[in-house]
Amino acid sequence: MSFLLPLLVWAAVSYLPFLWHPLVKVSIAGDSAWVKAGAMLDRKAFAEENTALAAKGLRQMEGKRSNPVFLPPPHAVAKAFYTAFQTPPVLRGDVWLHESLASSINTIFWGFTLSTLIGLPLGILCGAYAFWSRISEPVIDFIRYMPAPAFGALAVAILGINGAPKIAIIFIGTFFQQVLVVANTVRRADPTLVEAAQTLGARGRRLLLTVVVPSKLSELYTDTRILLGWAWTYLVVAEVVGVSSGITFFINQQAKYRNFENVYAAIIMIGLLGLATDQFLAFIGRHLFPWEQKRRSRILSWIDGIRGKMPAPPVENTEAG
C-alpha cells in the first residue's frame, strides 16, 4: 500500500488533465508566426495567441493539455527502465547506463568497506574502554557535524580527480557516524552478563571478544546495514567531486538532453539497488542470528500477501481417461 499510494497519485496527475496539466502541447501550429508544432506553451499564452490569430482571421493552433516535460508519466519511466540500458551514449566520453551503475557500486563498496574496516574496531574499543573513548570520541563527535561535501575540494587536491576522492567522501560521510553508533551499541551490553563473566575470571581482551562483542553481534550487524544506507545517500554528492562519473553523471547527462524519463528511471534504480542490498543483508542476518526474533521484512510480507490472494493452481483430474 505504501508503494501503491504514491504511484496512484503520480498516475492521476499524469493521466487526468483536470488535475494538473498546466501546459498545452501544440499539435498544429496554424498560422502562428513563432509557434512550432510540438512546442509546449502555457495555457494562458496558448489562449492569447489563438485569440490574436482569430482576430486576424488566421488559422488557429490546436493542441492538448500536457504536463511539463520534467514530469513524465509512469509508463514513460517504466519504458525507460528498459530503453535506458540500450540507449548508446550521445557524445564521445559519455558512458552507458550499466557502466555508470558499475562505477557507482564500486564507489559505494570501497568507501563503505574502508569505513567499516576502521570504524567497527574503533567503535568497539570506544564502547568497551574509557581510554579509547576519551581520546577519540570528542573529536569524532566534532567532525561528524562537518558536512562531507565540504571536504570535496581537499579530497581532489590530495587524491586526484579519479575515483579516490569519491571513495573518500563516502568514507567521511559514514566513518564518524559508524564509530559513535557502534560504540553506543557496545555500551549497551548486558551488565549482568558482563558481571557474571568477570566473576568467572574473564578480563580485558578475553572479556571483550568472548562476552561483550558476541552478545551484541546481531545489533552490530544491524548497525552496519543501517549505515550502508547512509553511504548510499552520499553517493550523489561524492560523484560530482572531481570528474563526474557513475549514476550521477548519467543523470546529469540525461537531464541536459531533457530525457527526464531516464532521469527518473536512474533515480529509482538507485533506490531499488539500495533496497535490494538491504534485503539481501537482512536475509543473511536471519540465518546468521536465528535466535533473534526479527520483525518480518515488509517486502516479504507484501509478497506473501500477494501470493495469498492468488487463486490456487488447478488440480489435475487423474481419473480422467
pLDDT tens string 252-301: 888 888 889 988 988 998 889 888 998 899 889 888 888 776 556 566 66
pLDDT of the residue at 19: 86
* Residue 318 scores a pLDDT above 60: no
Q: Could you tell me where the beta strands, DSSP code E, fall in the chain?
A: 23-28, 40-42, 62-66
The mean predicted confidence, pLDDT, of the chain is 85
Q: How many whole angstroms separate alpha carbon 233 and alpha carbon 172?
A: 12
pLDDT tens string 238-247: 888 766 778 8
pLDDT band of 2, cuts 50, 70, 90: confident
Who wins on pLDDT, 291 or 151? 151
Is the CB of residue 230 less than 8 Å from the CB of residue 238? no
Percentage of the chain lying above the pLDDT 90 cut? 31
Q: How many whole angstroms separate alpha carbon 116 and alpha carbon 227?
A: 9
Q: Give me the sign of the Cα torsion angle 277, 279, 283, 284.
A: positive
* Residues near 35 by beta carbon (within 8 Å), at least 6 away in sequence: 26, 29, 41, 49, 61
Residue of 27, 23, 36, 34 whose CA lies nearest to 69: 23
pLDDT tens string 172-185: 999 999 999 999 99
pLDDT of the residue at 32: 87
pLDDT of the residue at 321: 40
For the ranges 36-45, 231-240, 242-251, the lowest mean pLDDT is seen at 242-251
DSSP code string of 51-78: HHHHHTTPPPPEEEEE--TTS--HHHHH
